[in-house]
Amino acid sequence: MAHIDLLNEQPGIRGPMAYSPETAKPLNELAEILLRTGNSTLTKGDRELIGAYVSYLNDCFFCQSVHGAMAGHYMECNIEQIENIKKDFMAADLSDKMKSLLTVAASVQKGGKYVTNEQIEDAKAKGATDKEIHDTVLIAAAFCMFNRYVDGLATWAPTDTAFYVNRAPMRAADGYIGSVSVK
C-alpha cells in the first residue's frame, strides 16, 4: 500500500501523477522530450535503455520494468536480453559510444560529482556529441527523480513482467503526455 492515499488505483508513477496533475504535467513533458522527441541523435531505444539501466541501479522495479520493456520494444529484443544488458552492459552487443554513455549514466546515478573528465573524454572519443552527453546526464538524473518519486511514496507495481511488455507498443505509439488519466 502506498504511504499516502493517492485517491486512485493506477500503478507506479501514474498513481502520484493522477493525484497531483499540476506537477505531473512538466514531469510528463520532460519524459516526452528526453525519451521520444527532442531532436535527439540518440535513438529511442538508446534513451529508454539509459532510463531502464539507471532505474535498475536505483532498484526501482516499476521504472526498470516499464523502460526495460520500452527499450526492448524499440531495440527489437526480448526482455531477457534487456535483463542481461542491465546486469553487464559492457558484455552486450552495444556500440562503444553507448557503452561509454552508460558508464557516464552509472556515475550520475551515484551522484553528479562521480562523473569524471576521463569518462567524458572517452565518450567524446567514441563519437558522442555534447548534446548526446547532455541528454545522457539529464536522462540519468531525471530517472534518479522518477525512481525516488515512485518508491519514496511506496506505490504499487504489477509483478508480472508481461504486463510491461504488453503495454510497451501502446506507450511507444501514444507517448508519455496524456499517459495519466485524471479522475
Q: Is 54 exposed, middle or buried (0-12, 13-18, 19+ CB in 10 A)?
A: buried
- In DSSP notation, 82-93 reads HHHHHH-GGGSS
Interactions with another protein, residue window 95-154 (CB under 8 A): 104, 107-108, 111-113, 115, 117, 120, 130-131, 133-135, 137-138, 140-142, 144-154
Residue 87, interface with another protein (CB under 8 A)?
no
| Core vs surface per residue 141-156: b (16+ CB within 10 A) or e | ebbbebbebbbeeebe
Residue 182, interface with another protein (CB under 8 A)?
no
Please say whether the beta carbons of 153 and 16 come within 8 A: yes
Determine the size of the site formed for another protein (CB under 8 A).
Answer: 50
Residue 8, interface with another protein (CB under 8 A)?
no
Alpha-carbon span 132 to 129, nearest angstrom = 5
Q: How far is the CB of 77 from another protein (least distance, A)?
A: 28
Query: Contact positions toward another protein, by CB under 8 A?
Result: 3-5, 16, 19-20, 22-23, 25-27, 29-30, 33-34, 38-39, 58-60, 104, 107-108, 111-113, 115, 117, 120, 130-131, 133-135, 137-138, 140-142, 144-154
